[in-house]
Structure 1
Amino acid sequence: MEIFLKAETWLALLTLTFFEVVLGIDNIIFISIVSNRLPVEIRARTRNIGLLLAMGVRIILLLTITWVMKFTEPLFTVPHWISDDGSISGRDLILIFGGMFLIAKSTREINHEMEGEEETMATGGGKKVNVSGIIAQIILLDIIFSFDSILTAVGLTNEVVIMIVAVMLSIGIMIIFSGHISDFIHRHPSMEVLALGFLILIGFMIFLEGLGKDVPKGYIYFAIVFSMLIEMVNIRVRNRRKKAKEEAHE
């Protein structure tokens, strides 16, 4: 524990926690959307269970960091028109299938929005939603995103204890803010559709990353933030117009 008496330890912890939260934003959006398909009274509990189990999975991966790093070793070779470096590793396979899962899941959620299934399912009508299935989806997506965060952690510090503490802090922050994000998305369907569109984009980016393609993530995340800000302005404009109409009728 004497490592926590060093200033560089706290700097690494704060930096790593920040990166864990940033890399987990996609996860929070996904969790908020899938949990909104549950009845209101169990949404928060399901989100928290999923995040806590995901934290356990991340800690296990960190404790087996040597084994995890072997996932970056090539498993087989492929033509260069498929992968830039001509090889596919275990990490690449996880990213490829994970990206495909995220694209398929987000597309399906958009289809549900277009068909208006959410309200009937959330209020108990329509098909039953499998809570354990949603928790499994949360854990699966967290495993996909964990590889980037673990590789980032290894680049910042060699102390596994610091990595674990950073993961626990970041998951705690996600638990605190996931409810607010979920409620905001639920109140504004246009924001949910926009978020799902970006999850499709992120899934495609993960898929390309699994094929060894160099994807400029900075541009993509800038586009996401910029579009979110524009949509928030649109929401405010719509609310002001709605309020003005109500006052005019009065």
Structure 2
Amino acid sequence: MADLLTIENAGNLLMLLFLQAVLGFDNLLYISIESQRAPVAQQKSVRFWGIIIAVASRVVLLFVMVRLIDALSDPFYIFDWEGVLTGGVNFSTVVFIFGGIFIMYTAVKEIAHLLSVEDTHADIEGKSGKSALQVVLLIVFMNLIFSFDSVLSALAITDVFPVLATAIVLSGLLMLLLADWVTAFIQKNRMFEVLGLFILLIVGVVLLGEAGQAAVHGAEAMGMDHDSAKDLALKVFGYEIVPMSKSTFYFSVLVLFAVEIIQSGYSRKLAAERKAQSGGSLHG
């Protein structure tokens, strides 16, 4: 126990908490939006149990990855279609590709649903026929997809399991505290749901970008030098698939929020001017 109570582990824990908070934003957004697909009376419990089970699953995933990191990192297939598709594929590559496509599909489907000609009030009351169990299972499943990014990044900081597990549990508690607030905010400000779905669309692109370099990171984790590992990067028609940087991702999110806020303010201003003009014409 005394070996765990060191300044190095304390510093790593603080770094991991910050990392989990940054990488957990898109996960929390997904949970808040997806939980609204459940029956209204069960949405709060869906968020609670979804996060609890997801955090427990993430700790199990972390334990497995610590034990099997070499097996998960080792490329199991090398594409060699020169000029078409080249590069290595490991387990993380498959997860990122599958997760990215699924998140993009979900975002596009929900955006199309919002644009469909349906009764908006009915849409707010119950957005889909999904049961609470279906939503919880989907939240847990997608949390595991998001987990690969944060767990792999966390393992780059430290391999001390208790420190890693503590960071995951504490970040889960933070998500429990914020989930209801984020959901309530989205429900009160409906235009931000569309914004959230477009952010999820970007998240899908980010995951696909991570897939392109997953085999490279895995090879480097196994001790291969950087130049040799770079040959494992996925290339499509000669173009290397590179991940979007976190700074670019959050800058894009901030720009989307700024555009939405400015546009909403401008719309209110135009509505007030039209109301004033129509009131003046009636008096005239």
TM-score bracket, shorter-length normalisation: 0.7 to 0.9
Change (3 A) 1:82 1:18: farther
Query: Which residue of structure 2 lines up, in the alignment, with residue 136 of structure 1?
Result: 137
Partner of 1:120: 122
Structure 2 contact 37–129 (Cα < 8 Å) conserved: no
1:135 Cα deviation after fit? 1.3
Q: Tell me how far apart the structure 2 counterparts of residues 74 and 117 of structure 1 sit (CA, whole Å).
A: 50
What SS does the corresponding residue of 1:128 show, helix, strand or coil? coil
- Contact 2:206/2:244 (<8 A) preserved: no
SS at match of 1:2: coil
Q: Which amino acid aligns with 2:244?
A: P
What's the CA shift string for 1:60-117, capped at 9, x where partnerless? 0122222245222111111365666x11111101111111100111111111211247
Q: Which has the higher contact order (CA 8 A, sep 6+)?
A: 1
RMSD: 2.6
CA distance in 2: counterparts of 1:199 and 1:81, whole angstroms: 31
Q: Mark the runs of 5 or more structure 1 residues left unpaired by the alignment.
A: none
CA distance in 1, matches of 2:160, 2:43: 35
Structure 1 contact 18–170 (Cα < 8 Å) conserved = no
Q: 1:82 to 1:92 in 2, by over 3 A?
A: farther
Larger Rg: 2
Residue identity opposite 1:101 in structure 2: F
CA contact (8 A) 1:40 1:122 kept: no
Per the alignment, do residues 82 and 196 of structure 1 end up closer, same or farther by CA in structure 2, a change over 3 Å counting?
farther
Give the match for residue 222 of structure 1: 251
CA distance in 2, matches of 1:129, 1:46: 12
Q: Distance in 2 between matches of 1:5 and 1:52?
A: 27
How far, CA to CA, are the matches of 2:129 and 2:14 in structure 1?
Answer: 42
Deviations 1:40-70 (A, max 9, x none): 3221210111111111111101222222452
Q: SS at the partner of 1:5?
A: coil
| Equivalences for residues 154-233 of structure 1 within 5 A | 154-212=155-213, 213-217=241-245, 218-233=247-262
Counterpart residue identity of residue 51, structure 2: L
Moved more, 233-242 or 22-31: 233-242
Alpha-carbon separation, structure 2, partners of 1:95 and 1:57: 18
In structure 1, C-alpha distance between the alignment counterparts of 2:148 and 2:257, rounded to whole Å:
26
Give SS of 2:54's match: helix
The percent identity for this pair of structures is 25
Distance 2:273 2:52 in 1: 44
How far has the Cα of 1:154 moved from its partner? 1.2
Code of the aligned partner of 1:100:
I
**Correspondence for 1:74:** 75
Q: With the length of structure 2 as denominator, give the TM-score of the two structures.
A: 0.77
- The total of aligned residue pairs comes to 247
Give the counterpart letter for 1:41 in structure 2. Answer: A
Instruction: Give unpaired runs (5+ residues) of structure 2.
Output: 214-240, 280-284
Matched AA of 2:191: S
Distance 1:159 1:38, change over 3 A: same
The question of whether the paired residues in 1 share the 8 Å contact of 2:212 and 2:243 is answered with no
Q: TM-score, normalised on structure 1?
A: 0.87
Q: For residue 201 of structure 1, report the CA deviation from its aligned partner.
A: 1.8
Report the CA distance between 1:17 and its aligned residue: 1.0
